[in-house]
Amino acid sequence: MLQQNINPKKVFEFFEQLSAIPRGSGNMDAVALFCENFAKEHKLKYIRDNANNVVIYKDGSEGYQNSRPIILQGHLDMVCQKTPECNIDFEKDGLQLYVDGDFLKARGTTLGADNGIAVAMILAILESNDISHPPIEAVFTTNEEVGMIGALALDKSVLKGNQMINLDSETEDLVTVSCAGGSDFKAIIPVETIKRQGTKITLSIKGLRGGHSGVEINKQRVNADILAGRILNHLQKDIGFDIISVSGGDKPNAIPNSFTAELCVADCDAFCKAAQDYIEIVKNEISDREKDFATKVTVCDSGEFNVFSKDIKDKIIYTLLCVSNGVCEMSATIDGLVETSLNLGILQSDSNKVVLHFALRSNKRTSLAFLEEKLATFFANQDIPYETFGHYPPWEYRENSPLRDLYCDAYFKKNNKHPRIKAIHAGLECGVFAGGIDDFDCISIGPEMYDVHTVRERLSISSTENLYNLLIDVLKKLK
């Protein structure tokens, strides 16, 4: 049991109960049942759908019965990471919580405060009979961490409210007011191979910083796949080679920090010299932002190899050299916000195909649609098949937001300072709800937590208390 003197007591009691339930993404049955049983125990109307989303309804308190409903929303799943020596089985074991000063932590694992603390706060509000509030629609979604699957599957018609407080943010003095939508774009080049005599050489790029393709796309991080296109294009002009295989990146939403190509060359010494000379030029150019950039040219065996045909090789190099990548547009209304971007996150080949997998993002629906159209035209003109999938809508910035104004006013009165207002170039479930609810008015807030999704994850106890009390104050004002 957690220490009895940490507050809000009910919030941390519910968080401890949630932490005893295995709830990694994809393992949602038990935690959904927990929420369902909570609703039954407290005689609250609820819905549990086929995606294990749970919606719990609570009537407005005395004097608030006819007020506009408010949606309180968080997700049930957590990212499961553990230290090498930790023996917890995330499929069947709960977490081992402990208090360290002002922080709540878990022994050897992620804490799951993202987003368990939101669920705990909402459950505490639903249980209480002492909090003044309008009608509440508490929405607990599933599998957010692996693509917002639950939110996308939820039938939004079960919700009557059009104002929502999402509790999936991680900084107490921050109010998020917009997020990017996105999609996946995959181009697939069918492979044609021929036999070629020569020496196999491995060209490797490593040591780049990489990063998140949303929040770090504007930080001048070099994309290893795009850089490889530049190097290969230069080398094919200077000296001949054929491509055996290419590989760079393993997640579409991560900027690749490494790349490897297997090449077949006729003149090994000439190729190695040309490669090293040009790599030195590139290194001098990018060393101010990529201090650990390194390459390795390894001479392997000689013989006969299956290589890509010239047409396939040319398509690969042309695409890497000329396709759009990185920041496309900055916002004209929100300073410093990347509005539209794309990231080539995966470049992989096998004996049948070469796959290029892009993550597209935009805070505007029309810009996202145009970016897809632009890529589609680029690949169609090369007769390269493509597909798009994984669409999730953006949450567009709303100039007139009564909910935002009310929250900011309550925050100022409590803290004697204004909260920071921010739009993010990454996905939140708010965008999914915005796509299904007319005249949607929303904010995203949360207490201070650090090193989320790592075994160092920790949650500030005092910040949780501050934010919970502020949330109660906001509910009271929503009359």
Task: Find the Cα–Cα–Cα–Cα dihedral 277, 278, 279, 283, rounded to 10°.
Answer: 100
How many CB atoms are closer than 10 A to CB 382?
Answer: 13
Helix (H, G, I), strand (E, B) or coil at 217: coil
**Could you tell me if 478 and 68 are in contact, meaning their C-beta atoms sit under 8 angstroms apart?**
yes
Show the tokens assigned to 84. Answer: 């090498």
Residue 288 CB partners (closer than 8 Å, separation 6+): none
- What's the CA gap between 330 and 286, in Å, rounded? 23
Of 13, 114, 137, 144, the catalytic one is 144
Show the tokens assigned to 386. Answer: 């493509």
Strands 46-48 and 103-106: unpaired
For the question of residue 144 being annotated catalytic, the response is yes
For the question of residue 262 being annotated catalytic, the response is no
**Could you tell me if 197 and 303 are in contact, meaning their C-beta atoms sit under 8 angstroms apart?**
yes
**Could you tell me if 72 and 152 are in contact, meaning their C-beta atoms sit under 8 angstroms apart?**
no
How many CB atoms are closer than 10 A to CB 378?
Answer: 17
- What's the CA gap between 272 and 186, in Å, rounded? 33
Of 77, 172, 216, 339, the catalytic one is 77
How many CB atoms are closer than 10 A to CB 280?
Answer: 11
- What's the CA gap between 382 and 62, in Å, rounded? 66
Please give the C-alpha separations between residue 402 and each of 153, 284, 422, in angstroms, as whole numbers.
28, 52, 16
**Could you tell me if 126 and 58 are in contact, meaning their C-beta atoms sit under 8 angstroms apart?**
yes
**Rounded to 5 degrees, what angle do the CA atoms 13, 138, 149 make?**
100
Residues noted as catalytic: 77, 144
